[in-house]
Structure 1
Amino acid sequence: MNIKNKSDLATIIRERRSVKKGYTNKKVEEETVRELLEDAIWAPTHGMRQPWRFLFVDKDNLPSFAKKVAATYPVEMQQNREDYLNEPNAILVVIMEEPEAQKQWDENYGATASMIQNFWLLAWEHDLGVVWKTNPHIYDPKVKELLNVAENEKIVGFVHLGYFEKQPIKKDRIPLADKFTKYIG
């Protein structure tokens, strides 16, 4: 099969970028995030566990949130981390259930990552920039406590959100031919 015309979905997948900086002042509304998540949660999920939950931090609450998370760092890093966490217009904290069985843990992580990708693509359609961040604070027990993350839960990432005017530069992928082999028994 040779696909000559790319679908809208294929185009969005190829055009989507990580938007890390250059956000405008346009507010990311909770309603918009909820609407995007309503579709994003249709990601594949083993056993229909739907292992995710979300904590939304809007621009109005970001300064307080950033200060509290930054306070978990050594004093000499706190201002840098606070400034960094205040860069986006909003943050969506993605949290997943952590089962004890490794197989289920892997399945939950895969489902949550798929859901984040769905969210990212849907956001891109609306010119909402997204970047999935896994900075050290997501692993800090003090941050888990601060955000009321249960013992059997994991912070998968802080998803930084913001509208943008200038698209980030396209970065090419390694050709598929370099990554694809066929098993011959």
Structure 2
Amino acid sequence: MSLSEVKPLGTVTALIKERRTIRDFKQDPVSDELLLELLNVAVWAPNHGNRQPWRFVLYKGDGRQVLADAMLQSYDDDEMREKHGIPKWNDFMKIPAHLVVILKEDTRQKQWDEDYGAVCALIQNFQLAAWEQGLGVVWKTNNYNYEAEFQQVVGLEADEKIVGVLHVGYPASIPKVQPRKSAEDMLTIIDSK
């Protein structure tokens, strides 16, 4: 018996299937109130021991230039900065909001794994809640997240890790659905004889 046979698929299922990664944003601002509302939904992510191992830094308005400049400075090579950095800087300045999601790192491997998973779940919650409100998100894990100068600008502490920079705004266009592999093709079932 499938889930759809047990209970009609609800809005969560629809949101999961309808959400798209957005890379083309309108320049309309996103209110602080809406972003806070979305974060207050996202923090309900499951997290072992209720450790809540996350924090956030939001760049919007003129603050976007601080983040864009830090990203641009992460390019050591002038040619790469010109070819990739400058266009990315221009994109950063067009996107209404950038949310840096930070993990407080635990030195114990099991707890680190649990906490990293929790922060990833928080990001998915944020994306789904944003989509429900008509906002698009792209979750970026680019090389600049690992550069010391970029981390310093973000205010990263020695025991923290950037899990992602979320670019947030109203979609200017929505990409087509990309097919997914069937779970049946990737599932191994082990049952009694």
Where does residue 45 of structure 2 map in the other structure? 43
User: Is the 8 Å Cα contact of residues 27 and 94 (structure 2) preserved in structure 1?
Assistant: no
1:98 to 102, 105, 122: 105
In 1, Cα distance between equivalents of 2:61 and 2:94: 10
Query: Which amino acid counterpart does residue 166 of structure 1 have in structure 2?
Result: S
1:42-87 Cα shifts (integer Å, max 9, x gaps): 1101111100000001133212320232112123314233224224
- Taking the TM superposition and a 5 Å limit, the aligned residue runs for 1:160-179 are 160-179=167-186
Q: What is the TM-score with the length of structure 1 in the denominator?
A: 0.93
Query: Which amino acid counterpart does residue 72 of structure 2 have in structure 1?
Result: A
In 1, Cα distance between equivalents of 2:121 and 2:169: 21
Q: Which deviates more from structure 2 when the two are superposed, residues 77-86 or residues 57-66?
A: 77-86
In 1, Cα distance between equivalents of 2:187 and 2:94: 38
Q: Which has the higher helix share?
A: 2
Where does residue 116 of structure 1 map in the other structure? 123
The CA RMSD measured in Å over matched residues stands at 1.4
Matched, 1:6 2:9: yes
In 2, Cα distance between equivalents of 1:50 and 1:24: 32
1:67-126 Cα shifts (integer Å, max 9, x gaps): 232112123314233224224211000001111111111001100000000010000001
- Structure 1 position 141, deviation (Å): 1.6
Where does residue 159 of structure 1 map in the other structure? 166
Query: Which amino acid counterpart does residue 123 of structure 1 have in structure 2?
Result: A
1:138-180 Cα shifts (integer Å, max 9, x gaps): 1112211121100000000100111014321111100111111
Q: How many residues are aligned here?
A: 184
**Between the two proteins, what is the percent identity of the paired residues?**
38
